[in-house]
Amino acid sequence: MSSNEPVETLDCIGLYCPQPLFQTKEAIDSIEAGDILELLADDPAAEEDIKRFCKRTGHILLSFERLEDGTQRFLIKRRE
């Protein structure tokens, strides 16, 4: 498995604040320390919310990208 291979994908397309944040917290809590969660969202507030969540909780935002269709893709590593 590559170092940035997610163990789980969370699809929050069509959900709006605060649902992507709540579901991300639940998903992160369900994976092992050091594992990676892929989050897909289209809520305009998700970028700031998820970045703030990672900073506050100590999880590592490995990458963020905005796809051509407007979907935001996050790779979040659960803190060790």
- Measured CA to CA, the distance from residue 63 to residue 18 in angstroms comes to 21
Q: How many other C-beta atoms lie within 10 A of the C-beta of residue 33?
A: 9
Three-state secondary structure call for residue 65: strand
Pick the catalytic residue: 7, 15, 17, 75? 17
Q: Is 17 a catalytic residue?
A: yes
Active site residues per annotation = 17
